[in-house]
């Protein structure tokens, strides 16, 4: 079809990207910032309705007071230390155990029933037993966090190994690769996304568990501070603890997402 008089194909081509840029949806970061401010506005509006919810300004004032007295830093350090130790120990053991269960049938037969059994028991139910056996020091808190992280990560690692495409493994064998080479070059890379998802789930379980452990037996930590504030009906301090846990949990989760992006750059993404 002939071009209409006066039409310029080059101009149309140049205008197309401009139109596409205009219609491009807002970035994820912009949406994140928008939803944060929207949530704060809703929170402030709810606090004005007369419900027993402190306003954002009252929570910020409480956080500043706790920070100036050094209490907030002590509690954050105590909880972070427990979470990191338990989470790292649990993940470090879960990954080789998951690989073992997924790669060897005899290991799956021996270990899977026990893993599934303990996975159905909430780690919080282990806290009273851990306190009786280990006392009220750091050991029972770290142990239950370790257990929560381990059970979350081991199942995900196991599923990652058993769901590796058999075509890839058979192709590697046809090319003469030994089992060790196949495991290192095929199974581990293919299982990495599953492992990191399990670690993210384990991280959330670790934070939930440490708060529960500190509610029962602790002298410092965010969970302990929230329980202490509950006695005096100090709602702003409780909100400070909740928000602090959420912020640190989010930052740690985003860190795992960045690690996942680096380790699985070969994976097709949407």
**pLDDT less than 50: residues of the chain:** 1-7, 10-22
Cα distance between residue 111 and residue 146, in whole Å: 18
Architecture of domain 61-263: Orthogonal Bundle (1.10)
- Strand stretches in 142-248, DSSP E: none
Of 33, 126, 141, 140, the residue nearest 78 (C-alpha): 141
pLDDT digits (tens, 9 = 90+) for 64-115: 999 999 999 999 999 999 999 999 999 999 999 999 988 888 888 898 889 8
What pLDDT score was predicted for residue 20? 41
Cα distance between residue 21 and residue 101, in whole Å: 50
Query: Which 3 state secondary structure label does DSSP give 76?
Result: helix
Q: 219 with 202: CB under 8 angstroms? A: no
Q: 58 with 67: CB under 8 angstroms? A: no
């Amino acid at each position: 079809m002939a071009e209409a008089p006066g039409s310029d194909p080059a101009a149309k081509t140049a205008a197309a990207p401009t139109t596409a840029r205009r219609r491009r949806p807002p970035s994820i970061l912009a949406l994140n910032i928008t939803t944060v401010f929207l949530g704060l506005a809703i929170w402030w509006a709810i606090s004005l309705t007369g419900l027993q919810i402190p306003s954002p300004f009252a929570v910020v004032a409480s956080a500043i007071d706790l920070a100036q007295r050094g209490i907030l830093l002590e509690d954050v350090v105590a909880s972070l230390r427990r979470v990191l130790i338990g989470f790292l120990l649990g993940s470090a053991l879960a990954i080789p155990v998951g690989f073992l269960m997924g790669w060897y049938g005899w290991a799956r037969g021996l270990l899977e029933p026990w893993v599934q059994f303990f996975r159905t028991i909430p780690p919080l139910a282990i806290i009273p037993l851990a306190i009786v056996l280990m006392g009220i020091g750091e050991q029972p808190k770290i142990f239950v966090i370790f257990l929560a992280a381990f059970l979350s990560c081991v199942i995900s690692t196991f599923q990652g190994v058993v769901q590796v495409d058999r075509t890839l493994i058979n192709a590697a064998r046809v090319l003469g690769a030994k089992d060790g080479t196949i495991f290192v070059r095929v199974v581990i890379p293919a299982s990495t996304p599953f492992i990191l998802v399990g670690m993210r789930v384990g991280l959330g379980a670790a934070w939930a568990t440490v708060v529960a452990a500190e509610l029962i037996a602790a002298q410092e930590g965010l969970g302990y501070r929230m329980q202490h504030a509950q006695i005096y009906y100090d709602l702003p301090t409780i909100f400070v603890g909740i928000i602090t846990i959420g912020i640190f949990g989010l930052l740690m989760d985003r860190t795992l997402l960045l690690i996942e992006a680096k380790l699985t750059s070969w994976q097709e993404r949407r």
